[in-house]
Structure 1
């Protein structure tokens, strides 16, 4: 979401760090994590369209996301 808004949540498994997920894990992520992020106002999730966009509070987490993204090669395996 740092680079693209809106973002198609069906493409989340194609993020650069190549998280391999089973279909169950994908469904869990969509139905557990996305609603929580939406509850906090970090994203707005449109499950029928499979789209997530930045929410009204996205800027509150932007710096942390940028820091993680900028230093992904320095983080322990499995953190992202």
Structure 2
């Protein structure tokens, strides 16, 4: 449980996972990192550096995503189902959570 909560501690990691919950791009021809991940970013370059060096590696290490660094694409990882209940709970109660949670 600690690992799940650690992964969910960052809003950008939550947004990547929730985007995959809503749409699994495994069968898409061009599954890019979702736009919802960076729609609020004031410094897009800084966010992309953090995504590439911190957030996506952390999600990949936990097995929640598979990330192709060359094409910058993500898809559900082998452990995604482990975190799905928490993601669904957050999504189903988004109106009761602080604004920046999702």
Partners of 1:12 and 1:32 in 2: CA distance: 18
Match of residue 3 from structure 1:
22
Quick one: distance in 2 between partners of 1:61 and 1:50?
A: 22
Partners of 1:11 and 1:76 lie apart in 2 by: 20
Structure 1 counterpart of 2:73: 51
Q: Which has the higher strand share?
A: 1
Scaled by the length of structure 2, the TM-score of the pair is 0.65
Query: Higher helix fraction: Structure 1 or Structure 2?
Result: 2
Q: TM-score, normalised by structure 1?
A: 0.80
SS at the partner of 2:21? Answer: coil
> Which runs of 4 or more aligned residues in structure 1 lie more than 3 Å from their structure 2 counterparts after TM superposition?
none
Cα-Cα RMSD: 1.8
